[in-house]
Amino acid sequence: MSQVGDKQTRRGQDRPTLEAVAQLAGVGRGTVSRVVNGAPGVSDQARAVVERAIAELGYVPNRAARTLVTSRTDAVALVIPETETRLASEPFFAEIIRGVASELSDTDMQLLLILVRTAQERERLATYLSGHRVDGVLMVSVHSEDPIVDLLERIGLPAVLGGRRSELEPLSYVNPDNLGGAWAAVRHLARQGRTRIATITGPLDMEGARSRLDGYRRALEEAGLPFVEELVGNGDFSEEAGARVMRQLLLAQPDLDAVFAASDLMAAGAMRVLRQAGRRIPDEVAVVGFDDSPVARHTDPPMTTVRQPSEEMGRAMARLLLEEIAAPSRTHRQVILTTELVLRDSA
């Protein structure tokens, strides 16, 4: 009997209890619980005493019990409504994930990566989020009519978007200065004496793509150049789209002398088609991309592009989300990150 009792005692010692921490600290169990859960209402002196007792005993909170008490899951979801192919091919997503993971690395939060490719997967995600199975949601590649964003707004789950649906976006978001970056790119082309500047847009149901098109138009207007519909081609940020639209633009406007593409991948596709058509870059046609991804440094010639701080965008999104989880009633915040024109040999 004594042996069994000793084993039970050792097991109890292996996992100190909340009560043991309270006894050592000389405070009530409720005070220890508030310190462990980060709740208000504890003096600095009491908090310090409890934290010393926790450190001395090596107390580790029971996550299952904590979840029942606090409704916290210690998990956040990063939702990307794209295919595995798009996720793997676009460096932007890898940089966002790296930034988010870096910001969460010193917290207790688990990061769940969720791809949404079909209507069925969207419905399943809606059910999952409605059950508050995570403490908050990060979402990138935001399309104007995506019902998941509407759901996040409706159920009040802490959420931060990478991008926005419009300038009136009510949810918290982190966004690069898309308009300013595009404006700087096209202004650079105009100052080089280019007068037939084409653009390859991203999907126009995304505010970021629309803003880059607005920046293109604004720079043309300031340079005294006309906006020509036939010099605008719609893509989807992929290299294949850049190549396809470039072929169409060359057929419709063979005298074009510059191209601003709304992503580096589309710019790389455009450069490939221009080389195939015998057009020298930048002598005959200058090319500027957007992202400053690794792709831009390895094209021939190296690509002039607009740098957007994608990894910092991921970190900023995670910081905002942690703040919203800690204080759900706080005012939603909007963060605009600066972009920078990076000059290389393509323009």
Residue 93 domain-assigned (yes or no): yes
Looking at the fold, whether 94 and 149 belong to one and the same domain comes out as yes
Looking at the fold, whether 231 and 213 belong to one and the same domain comes out as yes
Domain membership of residue 49 as a residue range = 2-70
**Final residue of a domain: which of 50, 70, 90?**
70
Residue 217 domain-assigned (yes or no): yes
Residue 341 domain-assigned (yes or no): no
pLDDT of residue 273: 97
Looking at the fold, whether 128 and 192 belong to one and the same domain comes out as no
Whole-prediction pTM: 0.78
Looking at the fold, whether 190 and 249 belong to one and the same domain comes out as yes
Looking at the fold, whether 106 and 146 belong to one and the same domain comes out as yes
Q: What is the pLDDT of residues 8-63, one digit of tens each?
A: 333 344 578 878 888 999 998 878 877 876 666 788 888 889 888 888 888 776 65
**Final residue of a domain: which of 43, 70, 97?**
70
CATH code for the domain in which residue 65 is found = 1.10.260.40
Helix (H) or strand (E) holding 78: strand 75-80
Provide the domain count of the chain. Answer: 3
Q: Identify the weakest region by mean pLDDT among 38-52, 80-94, 134-148, 302-316.
A: 38-52
Looking at the fold, whether 316 and 171 belong to one and the same domain comes out as yes
Contact assessment for residue 268 and residue 235, using Cβ atoms and an 8 Å cutoff: no
Q: How confident is the model at residue 5 (pLDDT cuts 50, 70, 90)?
A: very low
Looking at the fold, whether 37 and 87 belong to one and the same domain comes out as no
Residue 342 domain-assigned (yes or no): no
Does residue 310 surpass a pLDDT of 60?
A: yes
Residue 344 domain-assigned (yes or no): no
Looking at the fold, whether 140 and 170 belong to one and the same domain comes out as yes
Helix (H) or strand (E) holding 136: strand 136-140
Looking at the fold, whether 148 and 215 belong to one and the same domain comes out as no
Residue 130 domain-assigned (yes or no): yes
Looking at the fold, whether 115 and 33 belong to one and the same domain comes out as no
pLDDT more than 90, % of the chain: 62
Where is pLDDT greater, at 256 or 64? 256
Q: What is the pLDDT of residues 73-119, one digit of tens each?
A: 789 999 998 888 888 888 899 999 999 999 998 888 899 999 998 88
Per the listing, tokens 């690395």 go with 105
Looking at the fold, whether 156 and 301 belong to one and the same domain comes out as no
pLDDT of residue 84: 87
Where is pLDDT greater, at 303 or 87? 303
Tell me how far apart the alpha carbons of residues 70 and 39 are, in angstroms, rounded to a whole number: 10
Looking at the fold, whether 277 and 215 belong to one and the same domain comes out as yes
Contact assessment for residue 268 and residue 242, using Cβ atoms and an 8 Å cutoff: yes
Which amino acid would we find at residue 14? D
**What is the average pLDDT score of the chain?**
89
Tell me how far apart the alpha carbons of residues 39 and 98 are, in angstroms, rounded to a whole number: 30
Tell me how far apart the alpha carbons of residues 104 and 325 are, in angstroms, rounded to a whole number: 13
CATH code for the domain in which residue 294 is found = 3.40.50.2300
Q: What is the pLDDT of residues 210-235, one digit of tens each?
A: 999 999 999 999 999 999 999 999 99
Residue 345 domain-assigned (yes or no): no
Contact assessment for residue 107 and residue 322, using Cβ atoms and an 8 Å cutoff: yes
